[in-house]
A and B are shown apart, each in its own frame.
Chain A
Amino acid sequence: MAVGLAPELNAEELRDFRRLAGFMVPASAEYGVPGADDDTIFADIVASLGRDRDFVGEALLLLRQSAAGDYAGLDEAKAEDLAMTLLGGESPAITALGRAVLQCYYRDDRVMRSLGIEPQAPFPKGRVLEQGDWSLLDPVRGRPRMWRDIDGAGT
């Protein structure tokens, strides 16, 4: 069963989606990060929808219906209010929408640097993991045997 490629989002869906993404993860001067509606991040989101394309389309349809057909034309407060109402719902479409945005947002170079993470693939450089405190095992080493030896072969 191969996963088929769904049609791309149309211009209206893209406009609504981008505005919605800006409410989902807004830019922040305090943390020095762009929003999910940033040119680069949003392009990555759209290009990476893959298996979630249909669910995202379903979520955008719900958004458009809640806005009586013109989400992009709403004022800021109303648009944010409808976005939060949509995102507060529980459905596979909303879960997929969130995953589509977050999986791309949290790999953007600027976002990674703001979190103190070097923006690169894990392989081949790898990461450093400290040993930790093995002396904490000392109290456990002295415990009596805990396992049940029903067959009597382990004594």
Chain B
Amino acid sequence: MSAGTNPDNSRPTDEIVDVLIIGAGASGAAVAWSLADTRMKILCLEQGDWIKPTDFPTNGRDWEARRYADFDISPNRRGRDTDYPVNDDNSIMKIANFNGVGGGTVLFTAHYPRMHPSDFRVRTLDGVADDWPIDYWTLEPYFAENDRMTGVAGLAGDPAYPPHQPNLPPVPLGRTGTRYAQAVNKLGWHWWPSDIAIATTEYDGRGKCINLNHCTPGCAQGAKGGVDVTYWPHAMRNRVELRTRCRVREITTNEHGMAAGAVYYDANGVERFQPAEIVILAANGVGTPRLLLNSASARFPAGLANSSGLVGRNLMLHPWPMVFGYVEEEMDGDRGPQTVMWSKEFYETDPARNFVRGYTLQFTRGTGPANEAITSMAAGRLHWGRDHHRVYRTLHYHRLLIGVACEDLPEAHNRVTLDPVLKDGHGVPAPKIDYTISENTRRMMEHGIARASEILEAAGAKNISCSRTALNYPGHLLGTARMGLDPERSVVNEWGRCHDVKNLFIVDGSIWVTSSGVNPTSTIQALGLYIADSIKQRLGNLFD
């Protein structure tokens, strides 16, 4: 093998590294930290910046406005020079992400459920999609290790999950959670305080949560367990190098069909070549297929690692209806983390329903004063003109909101391709999204909306309404380089190595076989730790 061959000698070549990780988000950080104990030379290239605690919106009075500006979850709206545009015109759901150290964990709500055991056996149990080549029990020790690194608030004993012990006290129920719990108990359904990646006590040098507001625009306190404050400080202390503002354009290969390294643009816009013995992709379900497709060559004309034709296909985005209701009494509003608790009452398949698989009900608090006005105006609950103030005072601090986290199954026509026109600031082709919601998922959504409405009615809420997709795009980008044993039906094997390129690994949400009905970050990171461990155990014959 001759890793490190620069395909174009006109560009500067950096010193070869043992491991090159592309992307400093949830999975890249976990893998970097885990591999650091091998003492290999590890470099991570990240196209975005570090976000300093003082940069986060809650430092200022304009904190709500900035969630629609430089901290918007849509890269197209946010438009930082570190972002790349996404053509999602042909998708009913829009793409959300963040490009920077921490990736999506900078802006996530920190809701941190694990996948359930049944999620890995969808074909066997329900006759749809495919089973994963690994199971819950394979990942169980990595879930626990990830919880320890992250700091997870929660409560042991949830009957909806195999036993596990969150390592921090749960986030308070508050007035809003108490109201939900009373309503769900009235219906006799399951609920449990959510596992949440928030430090409810001081943890690993991080301050405890002080209830700044919702966690989505970033946490100025550092209590939220984004990997910028969890994994990265530890990985860098263990000599992993993290280089920011470095946008990878393509992964190159050598004469043996092995990954040679990556061509990237550095912080000054200079095109460089970074050679590596091992390349690990951690750019998630849109960024990873974009990069593989942009790495097409004479040897890999359909894109790198794409002999199966599945790179970019089977995109899953988690349709997530949100059901709103308003009560007379004052609730928590924006005082505290957004997420309170979950219900798994309708998570597992029930043959009596007209759909397979299921969903999580995610119970949340209210929102800030400006965001309440903006979202309520858009939904038609609030009006302009003379009655504005009266109506507004029935909404702010009175909101209940239940999200329906639906599992959408893999479908080949839901996909990421390269846009023929749109390009990023370096002239690299941008991703194009084609995505529709299946009939099974639509039935699931309507079932969830009806059950959430029942809960809100039991809670005494009025003015109940639903946003099916318009205001909501959760940023769960899954399935576009799926894992499997058969090279003709998957992109990576059961431990994350590309079938076609034996020194190229993928560790992010793109390797998911099915989407489950939970927020993916906990499982993405556990998978990353598992793949890193698999690499470490095979170092002697990794490329065989």
Contacts and interface: CB of A to CB of B under 8 A. Distances in A.
Contact of A130 (B59, B60, B136, B174): B174
Given A1-B79, A1-B81, A102 B63 contact: no
Nearest to B161: A147
Contacts of A77: none
A48 B62 contact: yes
Contacts of A151: 117, 120-121, 135-137
B374 interface: yes
Nearest to A130: B174
B210 A120 contact: no
Contacts, number: 200
Interface in B16-63: 56, 58-63
B425 A1 contact: yes
Interface stretch (A11-19, A20-28, A57-65, A68-76): A20-28
B159 interface: yes
B173 A134 contact: yes
A17 B377 CA distance: 19
Main secondary structure of the interface of A (DSSP, over half): loop
Contacts of B424: 1
Interface string A101-133: 011111100001001010111111111111111
Q: Which of under 10, 10 to 19, 20 to 34, or 35 or more describes the interface residues of A?
A: 35 or more
A16 to B, nearest CB: 16
A123 B369 contact: no
B169 to A, nearest CB: 10
Contacts of B112: none
A124 to B, nearest CB: 8
Contacts of B332: 129
Contacts of B174: 129-132
Contacts of A99: 68, 374
B381 interface: no
B77 interface: yes
A147 B118 contact: yes
Interface string B113-152: 0001110110011000000000111000000000000000
Contact of A120 (B61, B159, B178): B61
Contact of B190 (A23, A117, A128, A146): A146
Given A84-B384, A136-B178, A148 B118 contact: yes
A28 B392 CA distance: 13
Interface of B: 56, 58-65, 68-69, 77, 79-81, 83-85, 116-118, 120-121, 124-125, 135-137, 155, 157, 159-162, 172-175, 177-178, 181-182, 185, 190-193, 210-213, 220-221, 332, 334-336, 344, 347-348, 368-370, 372-374, 377-378, 384-386, 388-390, 393, 396, 424-425
Interface of A: 1-3, 23-26, 28, 30-31, 33, 48, 50-51, 80, 83-84, 87, 95, 98-99, 102-107, 112, 115, 117, 119-134, 136-137, 139-141, 143-151, 153-154
